[in-house]
Amino acid sequence: MKKAVYLGSTTHLQSAFSPETRREISGLVEILGDDIDVSCLGNRAGDLAGAQIILSTWGMPKLDRNLLELVSCLEAVFYAAGSVGPEIARMGRWMAGELRKYLAGDPLNHSVSEAMIATMA
């Protein structure tokens, strides 16, 4: 079973990933510890080092060299965003669906390619 962490602003993570969605995700991957708030990345280096998947939303730290060194086994990031209010929970459910597809080796509905990244500001 792949290992994952919830990473970002704890408040936003709770809004995006409801208890029901978290239960679904916990059946798909092993969650390493509690939510990792950006303010305590260094304190959770062990959990980050073992994570292959990041589940996140607003408040995720920039995926720069420092973070990539902490999450050295990283394979994928599932980022729920694009809406506010109750809609963010729907985005979290979509990310659970995308995670299910990823783990099954199926094509994702909302993937970001390297070509797309090259055009982003």
Residue 118 confidence (pLDDT): 80
Q: How many domains does the chain have?
A: 1
CB 48 within 8 A of CB 4: no
The CATH number of whichever domain residue 87 belongs to comes to 3.40.50.720
Does the pLDDT of residue 98 top 80, yes or no? yes
Q: What are phi and psi of 42, to 5 degrees?
A: -60, -35
Cα angle vertex 87, ends 59, 12, to 5°? Answer: 20
Does the pLDDT of residue 41 top 90, yes or no? no
- Range of the structural domain that residue 100 is part of: 3-119
Task: Output the CA–CA distances (angstroms, integers) from residue 112 to 33, 49, 50, 66, 120, in the order listed.
Answer: 27, 24, 23, 22, 11
What would the pLDDT profile of 53-67 be if each residue is shown by its tens digit?
999 998 899 889 999
Q: How confident is the model at residue 79 (pLDDT cuts 50, 70, 90)?
A: very high
